[in-house]
Structures are given as C-alpha cells and as structure tokens.
Amino acid sequence: MGLELFRTHIISDQKVQNKTIDGILLLIERERNGEAIDRSLLRSLLSMLSDLQIYQESFEHRFLEETNRLYAAEGQRLMQEREVPEYLHHVNKRLEEEADRVITYLDQSTQKPLIATVEKQLLGEHLTTTLQKGLNHLLDENRIQDLSLLYQLFSRVRGGVQVLLQHWIEYIKVDIMS
C-alpha cells in the first residue's frame, strides 16, 4: 500500500523520478572517483526502484550509458598516460570495483551488461594498442605476473586471446628468430 502511494504520488512524477536517478548516478560517480558514500542509502534506493518495477527502465539504461561514457574516456586517457603494466592493474581494479557494486547495491540483472561495458571500453577498444605499446617489453623483461594478468584480462574479451597470440607469434618471428 505505502509503496503504491509512493509510486503514484512521487515516482510517477517524471521530474521527481529524474532527479532521484540523477542523485543516484551522482553518488555512484563520486564513489568511482574515490569518495566515500553511503552505500546502504544506495542499496535502499535501488531496491525501492526494483520493488516498484522501474529499476531497468528508469535507472539501469542511464547507468550503463554513464558507465560507457566514463570508461571510454578513462580508457583513452590512461592508455596514453600509463605504461602497460600499470594500465592492466588499473583495469583489473576497476573490474573488481564494479563487481563489488553489483554485490553491494546494484541489481543482479545489471552485472552482465555492466562488466561487459567495462571490458569493452577498458580492454576491447585497446587490445592492439596495449600489445603494441607493451607486449615486447613484458616478454623481454620476463614479467611473468604482468603477462599472466595480460592473458587473464584479454581472455575476458572476444578475440582478445587471438590478438595476443598473433602479436606473440610476431614477437617470436622478429625478436627470437633473427
């Protein structure tokens, strides 16, 4: 009864609904930027949206768009600023953070599209660049842990292992055979 009244008088007002979603997205953005936020508040708000059956239509779509935008920009910037091992560790950290968000306050239905978005923007869009920029160095320096992380991350993305294999074969042909 109370939830229905809330839906009728508050959430059905598009302006109020948009402001609520904006506030939720702002909290998540702050957390992604390293600020401490009230995660229980987010869990309650998102649970309420789920109970009202408006989670996916009102929140999830915008959340995934914002996530896509954030990680597209971050991937471009960090690929230029950081060395490959540092970038790979950052990607791994971001994937862990997003998985934790799903466990802590997001709906389970968001997990697959969220992780796929992060993988696409931080890995999929930079497969060749990552390898051109750092694979030879990692192999020359025998950086086993970094190579292992590279393989783990690339195996998460469609075509990632194949691209890695092609670059590795090229490395063997050029650097070892000559």
Kindly list the structural domains of the chain, giving each domain's residue range(s) and its CATH number in brackets, ordered by start.
2-122 (1.20.1310.10), 127-178 (1.20.1310.10)
pLDDT computed for residue 9 by the predictor: 64
74 contacts 127 by C-beta, under 8 angstroms: no
pTM for this entry: 0.92
Query: What b/e readout covers 24-56, taking b as 16+ CB neighbours within 10 angstroms?
Result: bbebbeebbeeeeeeeeebeebbebbbebebbe
pLDDT computed for residue 178 by the predictor: 64
CA distances from 137 to 89, 92, 150 (A): 16, 20, 13
pLDDT computed for residue 56 by the predictor: 95
Indicate the angle between helix axes 144-154 and 127-140, nearest 10 degrees: 160
Give residue-wise pLDDT tens across range 122-139. Answer: 999 999 999 999 999 999
φ, ψ (nearest 5 deg) of residue 54: -125, 10
Residues in the chain with pLDDT < 70?
A: 1-3, 6-7, 9-11, 178
pLDDT computed for residue 177 by the predictor: 73
pLDDT computed for residue 62 by the predictor: 97
